[in-house]
Structures are given as C-alpha cells and as structure tokens.
Structure 1
Amino acid sequence: MSLRLKAITREEHLAFVGRRPSASHMQVPSWGDVKPDWQARSLGWFDEGDRLVGAGLVLLRPLPKLKRYLAYLPEGPLIDWSAPDLDRWLRPMLGHLKAQGVFSVKMGPPVVTRRWSAEAVKAAIADPQAGRLRDAEATSHEPGALAVADRLRAMGWQQTEPGDEDGFAAGQPRYVFQVPFAGKSLEEVQQGFNQQWRRNIKKAEKAGVKVVRGGYEDLPVFYELYVETARRDRFIPRPQAYFERMWTALADEDPDRMRLYLAHHEGEVLSAATMLTVGEHVWYSYGASTDRKREVQPNNAIQWRMMSDAHELGASVYDLRGITDTLDEGNHLLGLLRFKVGTGGQAVEYLGEWDFPLNRFLHKALDLYMSRR
C-alpha cells in the first residue's frame, strides 16, 4: 500500500501526537516556535483510507542568498520505524522536501539500539580498559534496531558518527540516561537510587531545602544560575530570550508542557531546572545551580521533586537527557554521568542522526563548513 504525504495543520499534528503514548518534545508543533531561525512545517502521512498514520515536525534552515534549505527532523519523524518497507514511509518525505527546495535532510529516528543498567555503567567507569560506553558490554540489545540501520543504509541514508570528544551527536544526544517508571511505585523508584542519592535527599530535607514550582517571572533567577553553570561546566549558554520564547511557545500549546522548579534554602535559590512533558515521557531539560551551599544537596532535592511530580503525572519514563560516551577520568562530563547513574536508571543508546543528501554538492559544502566551525 502506498502512503501519501502532505502538509497538515498544527491541530492535526497535535491531535496525532496526543494519540500516542509518547513523542519527543522536539516533535510537537510548538517546538518550531522555539526555533525562530528555522521555518517549521508539520507533515502528515496518510494511508489509502486517508487516515493520518504518521506525522513529523520538520525545521527548514535557508542557505544565505539561495532558495535552498537544510531540513531537520529532530528525534523524528513519528512513523512506524519497525516497518519492513521503511522506504514506503521515507521516499514520499524526500520527494516532498526536494520539491520545497531542500538540498539535505537530517533526521533522528527515535529508535533505541542498546541499554546499559546502572551497574553496567558503574562497572565500565571503574574498568581502566574501558575508554567509551559504546565499547562496554550492553545489558540488553533491541533486536530490530540493526535492521532499521541496514534499511536506511540501503536507501542511501548516511549515519552521523558520535562526536570524538564526548559522545554527543552533532544535533541531539545519541546517549541518554533514563529512569523507568512503568509499573513502579514512587517508593520502588527511590529504592533504585544508590545510598548516596538517598542520603543526599534526606540531608536536603533536614537542612530545610524547599523545592517549589516557578513561573515565567522566575526565568531571570533560573538564567542567572544557568550562566554560572555554563562557566563552571564549560559550555556556551543560550540567551535568556531563548528560555522566555520556549516557555511562551510550549505553554500556549499545553499549560503543563514545560515546568520550572526552584530549590530554596534560607531565602536563596541554589538550584533550578526545567521539566518537559509529552504524553508518558518526561524530560529533565535544563539544569542550573550555584557552587554555594552545595553541602545541603539542592540538586538531589530538585530532581527528587521533579521525579515525584512526573510519577504523579503518570510518566512511564523520566529522561535525564544526554550523557557523555567517554569514560575518561579527565573528562569534565564524567561527574554528570556519575550523578545520573546514582538514580539507578539505565543508559540508553539511540540509532543516532542520519543524513540524506538530495544535492550532493551543497551537502558536501555544508559538511565542509560545519567541520571548520
């Protein structure tokens, strides 16, 4: 059976997402409003009965002075990735985008390939011979993932390799850390934490740390801590306007799509974090903290409050987002990995991002430009 692809309305797109148990927060219509430098389009796949069976948010980035675009579907599209005839889904998408002037397509299939338990990650970190998580023995493998990769290669898609420095792909992270909630009580979730995590949560409570939900008016407080975190962890901070736009766009679509949490102690905000929700999937999105009063453990306190609220919302997974792939003790991101491993969750590897050059000359020129940045 053939599939037909065409532009759909935001309402159709959002309704399709709402019928799924989960979807990436980067595949809801409002995410396009968060990215003003891109032109957002909602695409829909229709079967022969004219039923909407797939959807995708595509972001178009124009080339200067040319009516040509780079198309990006972050952590999408939302289609049947297990279908043996995957070409039936992707060929119409490529044809549609080519007709719109797209010279290259990048997408991130939401397909899991491997998982490592917290114990397996800790063992890999402790092993002096283990240089990268990808080389450590996985706890489980998703049998269909390799078949998806084979089908994509056969169609001419090219896989983006993980970064040499920290294991993050050029776009979205290939390695993330997740805490499964499905079928677990909140008490069972906490029982999975290591002793240090449980001790730190109690220490924060005893010290009087109070975690509260904030609003749009609290974003400047979050941002001040975020800039401090950027200096400490050596990354380039996004502008404050980005978070203001993110809040406004996501809240307009769903008032509970984005939340802000603040950890207070004796009148001072020590830690802040944003949380995103789509269906049964909840993400810890951005975190920020100060070096002051770290002994009262505000970061553990804020994560525990967010997990508690996510569990109350009916989440099946709490996603702590990207982790480093390198296990080198000298890497500054290893401490963040250890922090996340303490939740007792699991490291998850996705299939990564894939490119399809519709115009090989322009695609190669873009690759060359990106490699020199």
Structure 2
Amino acid sequence: MTMREVTERSRWNEAVAELPRSHVLQSFEWGQFKAKYGWKPTRLLFEEGAQVRAAASVLCRQLPRFPLRVMYVPKGPLLDYGDGQLLSRVLASLEELARTQRAIFIKIDPDVRLGESKVTEALRARGWRPSSEQIQFRNTMLIDLRPGEDELLANMKAKTRYNIRLAARRGVRVRVGSPDDLPLFYEMYAETGRRDDFIIRPFAYYHDAWGAFIEAGLACLFLAEYEGEPLAGLIVFRFGQRAWYMYGASTGKHRNLMPNHLLQWEAIRWAKSEGCTVYDLWGAPDVLSEDDPLWGVYKFKEGFGGQFVRHIGAYDYPLSRFLYWFYTVLMPRYLDLLRARHRRRG
C-alpha cells in the first residue's frame, strides 16, 4: 500500500466521498477553510494499485513561540475499520507523520460506533488514549432517508408531525437563502447564543465557513419567515451520501408558530432530493439523562425519528508524555487562573 499527498480538489473529494464513513470535515473545502485560521492541511490517500483504501485530511497547527505542533484528523481517518491490518498501517503512517512534524500529539475522532469491532482495543494497544478534549460531538442522532416522505413522516413522533403541519397551516414559509442572507442568519445565531449561553465566533469566521460551502454546492441555508419576518434558520451541509444539520438559529418571535419544525422538515426533504441516504442531526448527549444540557435538543431531534448513535469519541496519540501533560492539563489550568484574575479585576 502506498501513501501520497493530494493537492487537487476534485481528485480528493471524489476519492473521499466513496470511502466508508465519508465526512464533510474531511472534504477539501474544510481543510481550505481551516487554513485561513492557522491550520495547515495535508491530504493523504492510501492506495493499493488503483484502489483507494483510506484517506486522512490532517490539520497541523504551529504553537506560538514554540517549535512544536498539534495535529488533528477531524472525523477521520476514513477507512474500513473492520480491516484490522489496514487500520494498523494507516495509524502507523499517522504516527510517523506526527513524529516527523515534531507534534506534541495527533488527534483523531472517526465516526466509529461504540462497540464496533475491536477498534478501541487496537488504538490502546498502539499507545492511543481517549482524549479529554472532544472537539466534535461524540454522539449523534441519525435519520435514514431511504424511505419515502410519507414513511419519514410516519416515523416521527405524533407531536412533531402536528407541529410541522401547524407551522405550514398558520402561514410560516421556508425559503432557501443565499450568501447575501448570511448576515441575517448570523444575527439570529448570535441571539441564539445569548439565549442558550454558548459562545460564538465573529461573523468573518462563519462567513468563510458557510459561504465557501454554499458556493461549492455543499451546503444550503434555509430561512423560516412569517409575513416576511425572519423567525429561524439553519444550514445543512452535504458530502457523499450524507447530510449534516450543523447550525441552527432562531429569534424569540412567534415561537408558538413552530417555525423550527417546518424548517427542519424542509431541510430533510432537500437532503433526500440531493441523493443523501442519511441525515445527521449533529450532536446528542453523552448520557441519556434529563440532567444532560443537551436533553432538550435530544428530545427535539428524537421527534423527527432520529436514532441515537454512540461513537468512540476522540483519541490522542502523544509523542511526548510530558509535553502532552503540559498542553492538556497544566496549560488549561494556567489559562483558567488568568481568566479568574481578569474577572476579579473587572
């Protein structure tokens, strides 16, 4: 098996889209986007003859004031994880790449279901360890899009179906947005962040992410309106045969009209029309408990027929135990101390 770097967009995306567990975060566009924010992508294909067996878009970031790096393979590497020999060869290549790049560690978080084959045992045997820092959601909710629309509706909770029809009956309309609508969506997203107490980045960051994928035809913005007034929006990404509901936003206006339900249904219909067979609702609780902060989100997604899926989560391969401890344990404590002092002075 040979490993080679790919720099051509179409060649990379075509190969990656055909691999098991293909993911939008392994697309050429995602690496291109992250390159604007301090990460350098290296896109590696693993081939046997003319057959592509695996792929890894590896992001590398230089630490300020230190000749050291951290590396991350978002939602990868992509391969058949039931093939233990292939997994070992790909992991060995990633480990060697991290070593030559003088990385503190390399992180992976593939969409491997918990309990699937013996992947976690293979990782631990090679020195990989469960990461204390989960960049992406560990678990998710999936909807099988292969049935027809009537069956998809029948698979939903009765209350969800009712709310979809209620929104349409009361005059909520959903339209496809354009890049010109991104400032509007960001305003709603910022309002959602304030209401639900999560931190968001400046508009320029999201404009680069959302705009690039919309222009490439790999994402679609949906806006729900009532009498011309925007109430809610969401952005769905697609790659290969899967779609991901990654960003959602809403205002506090006319919530009784249930705009989010109709919005989500129209996004599901769009994903199906684009040839996707799976709709990933992107994010679910670590533990199915009413005490979990994501419980309300989980119940909303469950209403659409989403099936809860547990993944193994992120694993790190440390190249230096001391530097890994310094970066993952000591540095966060130091930063927390500085933030606490700043708050007291403020």
TM-score calculated relative to the size of structure 2: 0.90
Q: 1:216 aligns with which of 165, 179, 182?
A: 179
Is this contact kept in 2: 1:106–1:356, CA < 8 A?
yes
Aligned counterparts of 2:244 and 2:312: Cα–Cα separation in 1 = 19
Residues 20 and 78, structure 2, Cα contact 8 Å, conserved in 1: no
In structure 1, the partner of 2:127 is: 156
Instruction: Provide the C-alpha distance between the structure 1 equivalents of 2:28 and 2:248, rounded to a whole number of angstroms.
Output: 24
Aligned equivalents of 2:314 and 2:324: distance in 1? 15
Displacement after TM superposition at 1:332 (Å)? 4.3
Q: Does 1:71 align with 2:71?
A: yes
Structure 2: which amino acid aligns with 1:171? I
Deviations 1:196-241 (Å, cap 9, x if unpaired)? 1011011101111110000110011101111111111110012211
What is the deviation of 1:328? Answer: 4.7
> Secondary structure of the residue that 2:84 maps to in structure 1?
coil
1:249: Cα distance to partner? 2.7
Once the two structures are superposed, the pairs formed by residues 1-373 of structure 1 within 5 Å of their partners are 3-11=1-9, 12-20=11-19, 23-35=22-34, 36-47=37-48, 49=49, 51-85=51-85, 86-113=87-114, 143-144=116-117, 147-160=118-131, 170-182=134-146, 184-251=147-214, 254=216, 256-368=217-329, 369-370=331-332, 373=336
Give the SS at the match of 2:44: strand
**Do the aligned partners of residues 81 and 371 (structure 1) sit closer, same or farther apart at CA in structure 2, a change above 3 Å counting?**
farther
Q: What displacement does 1:246 show?
A: 1.0
* Greater shift in the superposed pair: 82-91 or 266-275: 82-91
The structure-2 alpha-carbon separation of the partners of 1:75 and 1:22, relative to structure 1 and needing over 3 Å to count, comes to closer
Q: Is the alpha carbon distance of 1:263 and 1:243 closer, same or farther for their aligned partners in structure 2, counting shifts above 3 Å?
A: same
* Mapped partners of 2:250, 2:210: distance in 1: 19
- Deviation digits for residues 236-270 of structure 1 (CA, Å, limit 9, x no counterpart): 01221122101333245x3x201100001012100
Native 8 Å contact 1:210 1:263 kept in 2 = yes
CA positional deviation for 1:66: 2.1
* Contact 2:285/2:293, CA 8 A, preserved across alignment: no
Distance change (3 Å), C-alpha of 1:299 and 1:38: same
Asked whether the equivalents of residues 25 and 278 of structure 1 are also in contact (C-alpha less than 8 Å), the reply is yes
Between the aligned partners of 1:143 and 1:358, the Cα distance in structure 2 is: 27
- Displacement of 1:331 in angstroms is 4.7
Contact 1:271-1:289 at 8 Å conserved across structures: yes
Aligned residues: 330
Residue type at the aligned position of 1:243: Y
Distance 1:197 1:57 in 2: 38
Q: Deviations over 1:278-319 (max 9, x none)?
A: 011001110000111001110001001001111111211111
SS class of match (1:236):
coil
Closer, same or farther: CA 309–38 of 1 in aligned 2, 3 Å: same
Q: CA deviation at 1:112?
A: 1.5
**What's the secondary structure of 1:75's corresponding residue?**
coil
Contact 1:177/1:322 (8 A) holds in 2: yes
Consecutive unaligned residues of structure 2, counting only runs of 5 or more, are 337-346
Q: Which sits farther off after the overlay, 60-69 or 242-251?
A: 242-251
Distance 1:21 1:280 in 2: 11
Identity of counterpart residues, as a percentage? 34
Closer, same or farther in 2 for the Cα pair 1:201/1:190, shift >3 Å?
same
Q: Identify the residue that residue 133 of structure 1 maps to in structure 2.
A: none
Please report how far the alpha carbon of residue 13 of structure 1 lies from its aligned counterpart in structure 2 after TM superposition.
Answer: 1.7
TM-score scaled by length of structure 1: 0.84
Aligned-residue Cα RMSD (Å) equals 1.8
**Alpha-carbon distance between aligned partners in 1 of 2:190 and 2:287, rounded to the nearest angstrom:** 25
Gapped regions of structure 1 (runs ≥ 5)? 114-141, 162-168
Partners of 1:30 and 1:361 in 2: how far apart?
34
Q: Tell me the SS of whatever aligns to 1:30.
A: helix
Once residues 19 and 149 of structure 2 are traced to their aligned partners in structure 1, the CA distance between those partners, rounded to angstroms, is 24
CA distance, structure 2, for counterparts of residue 371 and residue 324 of structure 1:
25
Q: Is the CA contact (8 Å cut-off) linking 2:142 and 2:306 kept in structure 1?
A: yes
Indicate conservation of the 8 Å contact 2:140/2:283, yes or no. yes
Task: Give the deviation of 1:347 after TM superposition.
Answer: 0.6
2:21 and 2:78 in contact (8 A); partners too: no
d(CA) in 2 for partners of 1:21, 1:93: 18
Matches of 1:327 and 1:18, distance apart in 2: 32
Query: How big is the shift at 1:32?
Result: 1.6
